[in-house]
Amino acid sequence: MITLNINDQEMRVDVAADTPLLWVLRDTLQLTGTRFGCGMALCGACTVHMDGQPVRACSTPVSAAAGAKILTIEGVGQGTTGKAVQNAWQHLDVVQCGYCQSGQIMSAVALLKNNPKPTDADIDQAMGGNVCRCATYVRIRAAIHDAAKSLA
Amino acid sequence: MTRTIENESRRRFLKGTAGLTLAVYFPWAMAKSPDAGQVQASVFEPNAFLRIAEDNSVTVVAKHLEMGQGSYTGLATIVAEELDAAWSQVRVESAPADASRYNNLKWGPSQGTGGSSAIANSWEQLRKAGASARAMLVAAAAQRWQVPAQEIVVADGVLRHPASGKEASFGQLASAAAEQPVPEQVSLKEPHDFKLIGQPLHRKDSAAKINGTAVYTQDIHLPDMLTAIVAHPPRFGAVVASFDATQALAVNGVVEVVQIPTGVAVLARDTWSAKRGRDALSVQWNESAAFSLGSKQIFDQFRKLAESPGAVARQEGNADTALAGAKQVLEAEYDFPYLAHAAMEPMNCVIRLTADGCEAWFGAQMQTYNQGLLATLFGLKPEQVRINTLYAGGSFGRRASKDGDYILETAHIVKAIGGRAPVKLVWLREDDMQAGNYRPMFHHRLRAGLDPQGKLVAWQHRLVGQSVVAGSPFAGAIKNGIDPTSVEGAVNLPYVIPNMLVDLHTVSDIAVPVQWWRAVGSTHTAFSTECFIDELAQAAGHDPVAWRLSMLQAQPRHAAVLKLAAKKAGWNTPLPKGKEGERRGRGVAVHEAFGSYVAQVAEVTVQTDGRYRVDRVVCAVDCGIAVNPDVIRAQVEGSVGFALSAAMSEAITFTGGKVDQSNFHNYPPLRIADMPRVEVHIMPSTTAPTGIGEPPVPPLAPAVVNALAAATHTRIRRLPIGNQLAS
């Protein structure tokens, strides 16, 4: 049994220690908002926060997540920054297919928590690990700036 | 002002009413979608496309897949407009597979989404659907209030009788409206009366997609469901010789290993166990009949074919004679790689057998074709196959599998285990990227002749490549050896040229499966034609915009978007200089696809070492009436990024018959740092709407490559651009 803290809730899971956190979230805990895209930490669709830092759940063994505070898309809206980012996303209608957007939002929230007034270059740097095949990048950039303004 | 039209669909509306509600609800998905709210008893269902409940909700039934292109939002807008509903009361759900009610009117008796036709084919149909329901609500109010129907006004989901002060919501009148006869005739609005159409209404799928509750195929979890991951052959055409499942079955969570026509499937209780099981599986492949060529060999074959005439697709005047008499003749060859769709959600599908048939869940893009495939495989009637169309995490054409590959693979696994459990097939990224059904490789050879005045007098365009339509449900479109999707954009070249010849070699002995990829033939024809026109303009000393316009006198919509894009881009003013050592350039392209017209002006900056970036793309589009201008802008922005991704770096290549790419490290998609600024200008129009999901893709690559040529005097004729500018 491994004990996890996910979105401020203690959860016990009976899985092999090397199981990626992604599949524990999705298959064991039915927290399906964290998406599977590549399995190699190349696309960012599975981004969650571990003690406030964005990590790729597909390449994080669940054993490494034990004892850490995990935040997923299901819980991110409870926080001020998360809510602001989601509001900006909705206001600008950033999404198209939407599949990558949980990960985009998690990366954007992590960026704004560390850097409340990011430049375009800061955004390119922080969001470079998140692929959007619909190429909603123009609006992702605009929504991050909008969220930053709303939090200022 | 309104116009009256015959409601010829009246009988179909009536016929289509019974039983719809049961067919479209799947309660677990409703429960997960906050947009959907509680399932309400349906009280007023005037036709197959909408339902009004006593809670005042208006549910629009979408016959088309939502894969990101905004179809749910656009389709709902059309219904809501004629219904005079409030946008906030409208929600959307997907239609069941049913060719009798939900066929694509541009496709014939088949339900599906493609060719940028969702809005175009639904336009009249959904306006009538909304107007019919509105008329029935008005009739119900007139009866209840005992007032003349023409004195009732409807706005924002409320009916009012101003003289008496009576008013009622749609919900309050829903059950009474259901008792009214479907009208013989309905009146449709004139465009200047539109209240919702033309407004940047918010998308209906935003909320669920930003809080993680949107349900994709990957998220389906049914009781006792098994997850399957398949060991596929390393080359197209290879088959299983033998396999040893011992190690796979020893993996905790693995339940069964079965052979299917496309490989060996490992079934497990969860995805990770299935993956570990496949890793442990040992398969011997029989590769005696497998594809064994490399990309260079394929291109060599294409180039050799291009030396001889192909099947004639368009002929006017005599291009040979005109070329012989031309003052200046230019020739160029263009090469295009295979491309993967690489949707963010790799292909997947869930199927279970039920007591009376089968049920499937996936981002279905050709529902009734898929229904037929599954019915045949399971020995069922099509109506016994229920398809739940979910949000697709991208498609770009891939979900409209021409051979049903990922769908049938799932069904074969279900069959192999005797249907005893529901099965979710998961393709990992590597499976998805190596599964084929790519945008085909193509080779183009163009020759053109200029007369002494620099006028274009002759044009020869030869194309070599595989047919995407061959072997698909649309194979009947092939006439006289011409797959129209191979030459679209080439045969309808808009420029006036007196002597033209377009011919095609269709390659049929390459085993790589090919398929439609966002904008299909125009993904290569727009590139070769618009790059070559640019070279000719330069050779003749003409301005690229002015010269195009001089040959577009019979094409007012091409000309209008070209002028608009050029004006907004400041074409006639010099491009601001770059930093020391930087070279800058501006390039243009214009193209029509699926009835929509798009012009783009790209601005690039090239470093001394050949690295480059696209700084800005100015787009002008004419897609008829703009149902939702913000969704249109989003599609243009996204198309620019999607097309730039392919132009810069994407290619599927082969070595000894094996696909060289496997994941995003060697099939690199565009990331945010390379995304240019995009400006979108929409032509005002009162023409019926056409599509926007694909048409902005084709002009991007030629506009960028023309800009790079302007900056560097180097003409790139092979995609992707890669590091061809590196010195």
Q: For residue range B219-263, what is the model confidence (pLDDT) as tens digits?
A: 999 999 999 999 999 999 999 999 999 999 999 999 999 999 999
Amino acid at B100: S
Q: Which residues contact B570 (CB under 8 A, 6 or more apart)?
A: none
What residue spans define the domains of chain A? 2-71, 76-151
Distances from the Cα of B653 to the Cα of B430, B436, B646, angstroms? 14, 11, 14
pLDDT reported for residue B41? 53
Structure token pair of residue B149: 């129907």
C-alpha to C-alpha distance for B128 and B7, rounded to whole angstroms: 7
Other Cβ atoms within 10 Å of B609 Cβ, number: 11
> What is the token pair recorded at B154?
């409807």
A15, A18, A38: best to mutate for the B interface, most B CBs within 10 A:
A38
DSSP secondary structure letters along A18-78: TSBHHHIIIIIS--TTSPPS-SSSSS-TTEEEETTEEEEGGGSBHHHHTTSEEE-HHHHTT
CB pair distance less than 8 Å for A133 and B394: yes
Q: Cα–Cα distances in Å, from B464 out to B233, B358, B502, B510? A: 28, 42, 11, 12
Say whether residue A77 is in contact with chain B using an 8 A CB cutoff: yes
pLDDT tens, position by position, B562-596 = 999 999 999 999 999 999 999 999 999 999 999 99
Share of chain A above pLDDT 90, in %: 100
Q: What is the dihedral of CA B63, B67, B70, B75, to 10 degrees?
A: 0
| Burial group, residue B460, by CB count within 10 angstroms (0-12, 13-18, 19+) | buried
Q: What is the average pLDDT across B478-500?
A: 97
B32-48 residue pLDDT tens: 333 433 444 568 999 99
Question: How far is B547 from B456, CA to CA, in rounded Å?
Answer: 10
- The pLDDT assigned to B261 comes to 98
Residue B542: per-residue pLDDT: 97
Tell me what the mean pLDDT of segment B53-68 comes to.
Answer: 97
Q: How confident is the model at residue A83, as a pLDDT? A: 98
Summarize pLDDT for B94-149 with one digit per residue, the tens. Answer: 999 999 999 999 998 999 999 999 999 999 999 999 999 999 999 999 999 999 99
Which of B67, B631, B640 shows the shortest C-beta gap to A97? B67
**Rounded Cα–Cα distance for residues B248 and B218 (Å):** 23
Compute the average pLDDT of residues B348-364: 97
Q: Are B629 and B682 in contact (CB under 8 A)?
A: yes
To which residue do tokens 């119900």 refer? Answer: B140
ipTM score assigned to the predicted complex: 0.98
Q: At what angle do helices A80-91 and A137-151 cross, to 10 degrees?
A: 130
Domains of chain B (ranges, CATH numbers): 44-211 (3.30.365.10), 217-289+347-426 (3.30.365.10), 295-339+439-470+481-712 (3.30.365.10)
Are B620 and B565 spatial neighbours (Cβ–Cβ below 8 Å)?
Answer: yes
**Residue A16, burial from CB neighbour count under 10 angstroms (0-12, 13-18, 19+):** middle
pLDDT of residue B424 exceeding 50, the answer is yes
Instruction: Kindly report the nearest CA distance between residue B236 and chain A, in angstroms.
Output: 22
Whether the pLDDT of residue B204 is over 80: the answer is: yes
Q: Chain B contact for A70, CB < 8 A? A: no
DSSP state of B269: S
Instruction: Write down the CATH superfamily of domain A2-71.
Output: Beta-grasp domain (3.10.20.30)
Q: Is A120 on the interface with B (CB under 8 A)?
A: no
CB atoms within 10 A of CB B109: 9
Give the mean pLDDT of B475-504: 97
Q: Nearest C-alpha of chain A: how many angstroms from B434?
A: 13
Tokens of B29: 């998905």
How far is the C-alpha of A61 from the C-alpha of A69, rounded, in Å? 14
Confidence of residue A81 (pLDDT cuts 50, 70, 90): very high
Given an 8 Å threshold on Cβ–Cβ distance, is B665 in contact with A128? no
Which chain A residue's Cα is nearest to B643? A135
Angle subtended by helix axes B170-178 and B118-145, to nearest 10 = 90
Cβ contact, residue pair A35, B344, below 8 Å: yes
Q: Which of B212, B342, B671 sits opposite A73 (nearest CB)?
A: B212
Q: Over chain A, what is the mean pLDDT?
A: 98
Report residue B708 as tokens.
């790079």
Do the Cβ atoms of A137 and B675 come within 8 Å? yes
Buried b / exposed e along B77-104 (16+ C-beta atoms within 10 A): bbbbbbbbbbbebbbbbbbbbbbebbbb
- Of the candidates B639, B644, B663, which has its C-beta nearest A42's C-beta? B663
Q: What is the dihedral of CA B69, B73, B74, B79, to 10 degrees?
A: 150
B632: closest chain A residue by CA: A96
Q: Assess whether pLDDT exceeds 50 at residue B60.
A: yes
Indicate the pLDDT class of residue B18, thresholds 50, 70 and 90. Answer: very low
- Beta-sheet strands, E only, within B276-375: 282-286, 311-316, 328-336, 348-354, 357-362
What are the CA-CA distances from residue B431 to residues B168, B263, B409, B544, B618 (Å)?
A: 55, 12, 12, 44, 37
Task: Give the confidence band of A76 by pLDDT, cuts at 50, 70, 90.
Answer: very high
Q: What is the pTM of this model?
A: 0.95
Q: Is A52 left (phi over 0), alpha (psi -120 to 50) or beta?
A: left
**Nearest CA-CA distance, residue B326 and chain A, Å:** 44
Q: What is the pLDDT of residues A52-61, one digit of tens each?
A: 999 999 999 9
Residue of B nearest to A134 (CA): B638
pLDDT of residue B227: 98
Kind plus residue range of the DSSP H or E element containing B476:
none
Q: Per-residue pLDDT averaged across A51-73, rounded?
A: 97
Report yes or no: A17 at the B interface, CB cutoff 8 Å. no
CB-CB neighbours of B179 under 10 Å: 11
Residue B262 token pair: 């496309």
Q: How far apart are CA B239 and CA B234, in angstroms?
A: 9
Angstrom distance (rounded) from CA A45 to CA A129: 9
Query: How many Å apart are CA B266 and CA B254, to the nearest integer?
Result: 7
Does the beta carbon of A35 lie under 8 angstroms from any beta carbon of chain B? yes
Pair B128, B122: CB distance under 8 Å: no
CA distance A135 to B374: 34
The whole-number pLDDT of residue B43 equals 82
A104 touches chain B (CB under 8 A): no
Structure tokens at B106: 């541009």
Q: In this complex, which of B342, B392, B637 lies closest to A97 when CB atoms are compared?
A: B392
> Rounded CA gap, B89 and B240, in Å?
54
A115 phi/psi in degrees, rounded to 5? -145, 90
- B6 Cα distance to chain centroid: 32
Q: Using a CB-CB distance cutoff of 8 angstroms, which residues of chain A are in contact with residue B666?
A: none
What 3-state class would DSSP assign to B482?
Answer: strand
Q: Confidence band (pLDDT; 50, 70, 90) for B701?
A: very high
Sorting pLDDT into bands at 50, 70 and 90, what band is B9? very low
Of the candidates B189, B500, B144, which has an alpha carbon nearest to the alpha carbon of residue B320?
B500
Tens digit of each residue's pLDDT (9 = 90 or more) over B320-342 = 999 999 999 999 999 999 999 99
The C-alpha angle with vertex B375 and arms to B370 and B378, in degrees rounded to 5, equals 125
C-beta neighbour count of B287 within 10 angstroms: 16
**Residue A136 sits at the chain B interface (C-beta within 8 Å):** yes
Provide the shortest C-alpha distance from residue B209 to chain A (in Å): 5
CATH fold, domain A76-151, is: DNA polymerase; domain 1 (1.10.150)
Contacts of A130 in chain B (CB under 8 A): 671-672
| Cα–Cα distance measured from residue B409 to residue B346, given in angstroms and rounded to the nearest whole number | 14
What is the β-pairing status of strands B254-260 and B263-268? antiparallel
Residue of B nearest to A137 (CA): B672
Residue B492: phi, psi to the nearest 5?
-105, 30
Determine, for residues B342 and A133 on separate chains, whether the beta-carbon distance falls below 8 Å.
Answer: yes
